[in-house]
Amino acid sequence: MDLKIRGKIALVTGGGNGLGRAIALGLATEGAKVVVADLNKNDAQKAAKEIKSSGGDALAIACDAINPDDVDLMVQKTVEEYGTVDILVNNVGGGFGTSFVARTFIDEWDKTIEINLKSAFLCCRSVAQVMMKNKKGRIINMSSVSGRQGEPLIGPYCAAKFGVVGLTQVLAKELARFDITVNSVCPGYVFTPGWEKLAQSLKEAHASFAAKSLEEIFETRVKSVTPLGRPQTAEEVASLVAYLASEEARSITGQSISIDGGIFMN
């Protein structure tokens, strides 16, 4: 796309797989130096290696994004290696199974809020210290179509992703005077390792899915709810994130941008 992000320092959480991996690669293609942070060190290293083998600059960091000490250490290591953080992508997140709210276990609720919302809060809190000193920065938070409209059976996930949208708006207002923009992206359906896990839990919980493959469960869901009738690709989401991270997007803040084939319409 040739966006103005060459030489910027980007930190991507959950960058070892799925959307995070595509976002890390996409930012690197645009010339950013990328810190790939992930709970799974091997996956972070694989993604960083991929970036380096195509001529980019990357560093892999093992980090649990819901642990405040780990998050602070991740930011400290990034600053030690590259001098600063210009772009933060809070990508970590996901759901844990499906159940009616009335039957949701408390630990399932807590885990979902932690991984989707607390992780974004902790990373924003830590990176904001650096960006406020720099008087510039870009923060992109991963929400979802489930952060725009309620869906049965994924109550904790919807609540967390609506929370991400709220956090984004608050931070956009608080950080605007430091010339830091904060936006969220709201994808629909992308077939990632995370979605495979969800399809597996649907297969186990519902007799109507028992004979279907994970891909078929995904496709059935996509077709039934998406006006454009097709899923999104991780690369499409990565392109939107790269744009929001660029100089070109300097006037966009506090927005939650849907990339979902038309499922949610404002």
Ligand X SMILES: NC(=O)c1ccc[n+]([C@@H]2O[C@H](COP(=O)([O-])OP(=O)(O)OC[C@H]3O[C@@H](n4cnc5c(N)ncnc54)[C@H](O)[C@@H]3O)[C@@H](O)[C@H]2O)c1
The answer to the question of residue 124 lying near ligand X (CB under 6 A) is no
The backbone torsions φ and ψ at residue 153, rounded to the nearest 5 degrees and listed phi first, read 80, -10
- DSSP β-ladder status, 58-62 and 33-38: parallel
Closest CA to 25 of 1, 2, 58: 58
3-state helix/strand/coil string of 41-102: HHHHHHHHHHHHHCCCCEEEEECCCCCHHHHHHHHHHHHHHHCCCCEEEECCCCCCCCECHH
CA atoms within 13 A on the CB side of 219: 5
- Which of the ranges 2-10, 24-32, 50-58, 85-93 carries the binding residues for ligand X, by CB under 6 A? 85-93
Q: First vs last Cα of the chain: how many Å apart? A: 27
Return the residues of window 45-74 that contact ligand X according to CB under 6 A.
63-66
Contacts with ligand X, 180-209, as mask; x by CB under 6 A = -------x-xx-xxxx--------------
The answer to the question of residue 222 lying near ligand X (CB under 6 A) is no
What is the closest distance, in whole angstroms, from the C-beta atom of residue 149 to ligand X in the complex?
12
What is the closest distance, in whole angstroms, from the C-beta atom of residue 16 to ligand X in the complex?
4
Task: Count the neighbouring beta carbons within 10 Å of the beta carbon of residue 64.
Answer: 18
What is the closest distance, in whole angstroms, from the C-beta atom of residue 17 to ligand X in the complex?
3
- Which of the ranges 1-9, 38-46, 219-227, 244-252 carries the binding residues for ligand X, by CB under 6 A? 38-46
The answer to the question of residue 86 lying near ligand X (CB under 6 A) is no
Q: Which is nearer to ligand X, 179 or 233 (CB)?
A: 233
Active site (annotated) includes residue 157: yes
The answer to the question of residue 17 lying near ligand X (CB under 6 A) is yes
The 8-class DSSP code of residue 23 comes to: H
Token digits of residue 102: 């009335």
What is the closest distance, in whole angstroms, from the C-beta atom of residue 122 to ligand X in the complex?
10
Quick one: which of 10, 43, 168, 209 contacts ligand X (CB under 6 A)? Answer: 43
Q: Which is nearer to ligand X, 108 or 179 (CB)?
A: 108
The 8-class DSSP code of residue 230 comes to: S
Q: Could you tell me if 138 and 172 are in contact, meaning their C-beta atoms sit under 8 angstroms apart?
A: no
What is the closest distance, in whole angstroms, from the C-beta atom of residue 79 to ligand X in the complex?
19
The answer to the question of residue 91 lying near ligand X (CB under 6 A) is yes
Report the alpha-carbon distance of residue 100 to residue 49 in Å, rounded.
41
What is the closest distance, in whole angstroms, from the C-beta atom of residue 14 to ligand X in the complex?
3
- Which of the ranges 32-40, 125-133, 219-227, 245-253 carries the binding residues for ligand X, by CB under 6 A? 32-40
Q: Could you tell me if 116 and 163 are in contact, meaning their C-beta atoms sit under 8 angstroms apart?
A: yes
Which residues are tagged catalytic? 157
> Which residues form the interface with ligand X (CB under 6 A)?
13-14, 16-20, 38-40, 43, 63-66, 91-94, 115, 142, 144, 187, 189-190, 192-195
